[in-house]
Structures are given as structure tokens and as C-alpha cells.
Amino acid sequence: MTIDAMTLTLFLPLFGAMAAFVLPRAATGIGLVTVLATCGAVWLLALEVLKAGAVITPLGGWEAPLGIALRADGLSLAMLAMTSGVGLLVSLGALNALRDLRQRQYFWPLWLLLLTGMNGVYLGTDIFNLYVMIEVIALAAVGLTVLSGTKEALRAGLEYMYASILGALLFLMGVGFVYLHLGRLDFAGLLEAEPSGALSAALALMLVGLLLKTALFPLHFWLPAAHANATAPASALLSGLVVKAALYIFLRLTTYMPLPDEILVTLIGALGAGAVLWGGVQALRAERLKLLVAWSTVVQIGLIFIAFARAGQVGLTESWKAAALLILAHGVAKAAMFLAAGRIKDELGHDIIRDLDKSNIRPTLAQFTFALAAISIIGLPPSLGFIGKWTLMEGAMAAGYWHWVVVTMIGTLLSVAYFSRVFAGFLRFDRVRAPVGEHQGWALADVAPLTLAIASISLGLMAAPILSFLELGYALGVMP
């Protein structure tokens, strides 16, 4: 039995999930070991990709298009690394955040199945297989959404499931039509296809399904409630990682089957602009901290699509890198932010923004973590978020598309405004006369979110190697 690194990346979390499910008492230990081992497998795979560029395994020994091949290149690896790295720290954060025995038992199998699904998406090269993977992700993600067991979470989870299944169904219909036209389902087949109106319509069905799953305005309606009402580690996973899977498929598909018209690229950018403005206003109005963070996810998703559209159709060969940087930046920072918000809520007993400064308990380190993560999400230097936004605007300016720069600027100002509401609550201005309680301001549970927040800042200093890593193995464009 000799197993390659790509198979390990997929099968380790799968077996971990099964083990954690049948042995619920040992679920926590099994879960942590599995996530750590998956990080190791991704590391091994990264070494192979650094050496060889793109790595391909035809599963079952059957070559595509009959069989299904797994393929790893710089972009897939960056996504895998983000998923397992953020996943490991969120797992550590979950140790403290999940108090209820039932939650602790069920969190691990669901999260590990989610990891299996996401790793499968990042290694997939076959659109039907991608459909199956997003179904795995959808069910595990809905399970995580309702893990907190509150009525609001159940309601939001049901709405999320409807949206998610509708999105997957649209994607599947598109896949069916692509097969009808091309007789194959692999990426290479898409790349060779003659563009036609019918094929574009099939692509459009798939893309709309993906937009629904990734919650681009105006198809974001399910996201805020679902992400705000989940338990903190689940929110971190859903907001930081899960929405990125559909985004990644979007990036791949639009490269192999280019959008047929400049207007469509602009339309996608315009929807992104809508998300930035609408999400920004809603975040300004949100009354609860977690809801504000969830709306900020809607904004960031919009921003990623603006990055995608920043230089029009011609610029797509470069624009995906700006989008990928923003995806990575948001994944790390948002996970940190949701974990920190969860810590603040745990300590204060509530997360009402207006009353943040009225408590005599002061979770200083969690608040500091939140602020660090906000720096990356707002896009202040030297964070990874800054590099992402800078790349976005640089490309837009070079192409002369100043409107995208203006929207990005407005979005940045809005994000400063809505995060300032939270910061103002962190600074006490002595509204509480009572002495600060015995709370020392930090706890061991703050370590995981703090590490993530520091990573979201310091990864900005490594932007150049990350960018060159993304290009390994001709991530997009040339296949295979």
C-alpha cells in the first residue's frame, strides 16, 4: 500500500470523520489528530508541486475523460493550505468554544466531512465530481450551521439549505447540458470546446448556481442569518472557508470557458459593487457583533468579484490573482474575527454592539484580536488584505477602469465606519463605574484566534512568494 499525498489529503479527513462519528467519546482527539495529519499531507503535496509544477493522479488508473483525475497546482495548493491551516487553528479554538457535550461530539465528524469536501473541490478536475463535492460541503455546512441548536440557527440553517440545494441543482443542470454538448466533463474538454451560445447558457446556469452558493449580492439573502447564528467555530469555518469553495470553482470555470462578453464581466463587477455598498450599509445598521461580521463577509465576497472584473475581459489572465489573494486574506482574517467575536460573546454573555462598553468584564486580548483581523479586512498595510486590495486597484488603474477604484475606496471607508462602531465599544470611556472584575483580560482560548489574526497581518509581508506560488503549474490558463 503506497498512497500518494493527494489521496491522503482527501482520505485522511474522510476516515477521521467516520472514526469521530462511531467513537463519539474520542471525537475531539480524533478530530485534532486528523486535522493535523491533513496539514502534513498538504505540506507533502506542496513539496511535490514546488518540485514538479502540477501534479496529476488519474484515479482508478482511468484517464480522463472516462475516469476522474486529481490535479494540484499553485492555486489549488494555496486553497488547500489556507483550508487546512485555518482549519487547524479553528479546531484549536473549538476546544474551548464548544461547551455542550452534544456539540462537541457532532462538531468533529461534520467539520471533517466538510474538510473532505473542500479538499475534493480544490483537487477536482471534473465538473460532475465538483457537483458531488459541493453537495458534501453543503450538507456538512448546514449541519454545522444548526449545531448551536437555537431556534434562529435552525431557521437560518433551513434557509441556507434551500439556497444551497437550489444552487447545486442549477450547477448540476449546467453540467448536464455541458455533457450533452461536449460528451465529456473534464476541464481539458472545456478548454478545447468551441464556444457556442448553448454552451454559454449552460455555463451561465452553473455560474448562477455558484453565485448563489458563494452569496454574491443579490443572492446573499441566506448568508447573514446563517453565519451570525452558528456557534463561533462553525461561523469561522462557514465564513472563512466554505463560501470560498464555490468561488474557487467560479474562478476555474471562467478561465476554462471564458465569459463570452465584456458586458458579463462588468455585470459581475457591478453585482460585487452592489454587495460592497449594500453589505456595508447593513453592517452599519447591524445590532449584534456577529451579524456585523457576517455582513462584512457579504462585502468581502463582493470585493473579490470586483477584483475578478477589475480589468475587464482582457485582464482576466491577471485578475484571478488579485481575486485569489483576497480569498486567502479574507479566509484567514474572517476566521480570526469570528473566533474573536465568539470569545467576546462568551465572556460578556452577549454581543450587542451598543452595550459592548457597559460590561465590567473586559476581554482585552479577544478585542485586540478582533481589531487586528479588522485591519486586514479593512485593508491597511502591511496586511494580506492590503496587498489584495492594492493588487485589485493597481490592475483597475492600469486598465483605466477607475469606477472599480472608486467602489473599492467607498467600500474601504464603509468598512472603517462599521468597524469603528465596534472599536468604540471596546474603548470603555469609563461608562462602567464598577471596578473591573477579576477577569484578567485574556485566556488560553484566545491563542488560536490571535495566531490567525497575526497571520492575516504578517502574511502580507510574504505577498511576493505567495504570488509566485499561485502561478506554479500554470494554475489557470494552460492545461493541464
Partner 1 sequence: MTDPFLILDLLLAGAVIALAIATLTARDLFAAIVLFIVLGLLSALAWVRLSAPDVALAEAAIGTGVTGALLLKTLHHLRYVAGTLGEQAAHGVTPVTPVPMSVIWANAAFCGLITLGLAIAFLDAPLGGPGFDALVADAMPASGVDHGVTAVLLNFRSYDTLMEVVVLLAAVIAVWQIERGLSEAPAPDLSVIWQGFARLTLPAIVVVGTYLLWKGSEAPGGAFQGGAVLAAVGILLLLSRLYVPHPSHRALARWGFVLGTGVFAGVALLVTGGGRVTFEYPPEHAKTLILLIEGLVTVSIAVTLAALFHGREPVALRAKEAGHDA
x-or-dash pattern for partner 1, window 170-189, by CB under 8 A? x--xx--x-xxxxxx-----
Cα distance between residue 25 and residue 20, in whole Å: 8
Q: Out of 37, 44, 132, 443, which residue is the one contacting partner 1 (CB under 8 A)?
A: 132
Q: Is 197 in the site for partner 1 (CB under 8 A)?
A: yes
25 in contact with partner 1 (CB under 8 A): no
Regarding 278 and contact with partner 1 (CB under 8 A), the answer is: no
**Cβ-based neighbour number of residue 197 at 10 Å:** 8
Min separation Cβ 251 and partner 1, Å: 21
Should residue 15 be labelled a site residue for partner 1 when binding is judged by CB under 8 A? yes
Taking contact as CB under 8 A, which single stretch among the options 168-176, 227-235, 399-407, 438-446 is the one that binds partner 1? Answer: 168-176
Q: Which of 48, 135, 159, 394 binds partner 1 (CB under 8 A)?
A: 135
User: Do residues 336 and 293 make contact, with C-beta atoms less than 8 angstroms apart?
Assistant: no
Q: Would you count residue 312 as binding partner 1 (CB under 8 A)?
A: no
State the minimum distance, in angstroms, from the CB of residue 347 to partner 1: 24
Question: Bridge partners of 70?
Answer: 57, 124
By CB under 8 A, is residue 263 in contact with partner 1?
A: no
Nearer to partner 1, 137 or 377 (CB): 137
Task: Enumerate the β-bridge partners of residue 71.
Answer: 56
Which value, to the nearest 10 degrees, does the dihedral of the CA atoms of residues 376, 382, 384, 385 take? 40
Listed ranges 114-122, 293-301, 351-359, 401-409: which one lies at the site for partner 1 (CB under 8 A): 114-122
Q: Which is nearer to partner 1, 182 or 410 (CB)?
A: 182
Q: Which three cell numbers stand for residue 136?
A: 458534501
68 part of the interface to partner 1, by CB under 8 A: yes
3-state SS of the chain is CCCCHHHHHHHHHHHHHHHHHHCHHHHHHHHHHHHHHHHHHHHHHHHHHHHHCCEEEEHHHCCCCCCCEEEECHHHHHHHHHHHHHHHHHHHHHHHHCCCHHHHHHHHHHHHHHHHHHHHHHHECEHHHHHHHHHHHHHHHHHHHHHHCCHHHHHHHHHHHHHHHHHHHHHHHHHHHHHHHHCCCEHHHHHHCCCCHHHHHHHHHHHHHHHHHHCCCCCCCCHHHHHHHCCHHHHHHHHHHHHHHHHHHHHHHHHHCCCCCHHHHHHHHHHHHHHHHHHHHHHHHCCEHHHHHHHHHHHHHHHHHHHHHCCCCCCHHHHHHHHHHHHHHHHHHHHHHHHHHHHHHHHHCCCEHHHHHHCCCCCHHHHHHHHHHHHHHHCCCCCHHHHHHHHHHHHHHHCCCHHHHHHHHHHHHHHHHHHHHHHHHHCCCCCCCCCCCCCCCCCHHHHHHHHHHHHHHHHHHHHHHHHHHHCCCCCCCCCC
441 binds partner 1 (CB under 8 A): no
Beta bridge partners of residue 186, listed in sequence order: 126
> What is the smallest separation between the CB atom of 388 and partner 1, expressed in angstroms?
31
- Single out the residue of 77, 110, 293, 333 in contact with partner 1 (rule: CB under 8 A): 110
Contact 392, 404 (CB under 8 A): yes
Q: Is 196 in the site for partner 1 (CB under 8 A)?
A: yes
Q: Any contact of residue 426 with partner 1 (CB under 8 A)?
A: no
Residue 74, interface with partner 1 (CB under 8 A)? Answer: no
Decide: is 42 part of the binding site for partner 1 (CB under 8 A). Answer: no
Choose, by CB under 8 A, the member of 47, 50, 67, 317 that binds partner 1: 67
- Under rule CB under 8 A, residue 140 binds partner 1: yes
- The binding track of 453-472 with respect to partner 1, each residue x by CB under 8 A or -, is --------------------
**Does position 66 bind partner 1 by CB under 8 A?**
yes
Q: Please state the closest distance from residue 219 (CB atom) to partner 1, in A.
A: 9
Instruction: Give backbone dihedrals phi and psi of 177, rounded to 5 degrees, phi first.
Output: -70, -35
The C-alpha cell at 192 is 478545447
36 interacts with partner 1 by CB under 8 A: no
Q: Considering only 132-140, 274-282, 339-347, 372-380, which stretch makes contact with partner 1 by CB under 8 A? A: 132-140
**Residue 102 binding partner 1, by CB under 8 A:** yes
Phi, psi of 234, rounded to the nearest 5 degrees: -65, -45
List the interface residues with partner 1, window 403-422 (CB under 8 A).
Answer: none
Quick check: 445 binds partner 1 (CB under 8 A)?
no
Q: In the complex, what is the shortest distance from the CB of residue 275 to partner 1, in angstroms, rounded to a whole number?
A: 16
The answer to the question of residue 45 lying near partner 1 (CB under 8 A) is no
Residue number, 123 or 470, with CB nearest to partner 1: 123
What's the sign of the alpha-carbon dihedral 403, 406, 408, 414?
negative
In the bound state with partner 1, the residue whose beta carbon lies nearer, of 174 and 233, is 174
Which one of 124-132, 312-320, 375-383, 416-424 is the stretch in contact with partner 1 (CB under 8 A)? 124-132
115 versus 366: smaller Cβ distance to partner 1: 115
Binding site for partner 1 (CB under 8 A): 1-4, 7, 11, 14-15, 17-18, 21-22, 24, 57-62, 65-68, 102, 105-106, 109-110, 113, 116-117, 120, 126, 128-129, 132-133, 135-136, 139-140, 142-143, 146-147, 149, 151, 154, 170, 173-174, 177, 179-184, 196-202, 204-205, 208, 218
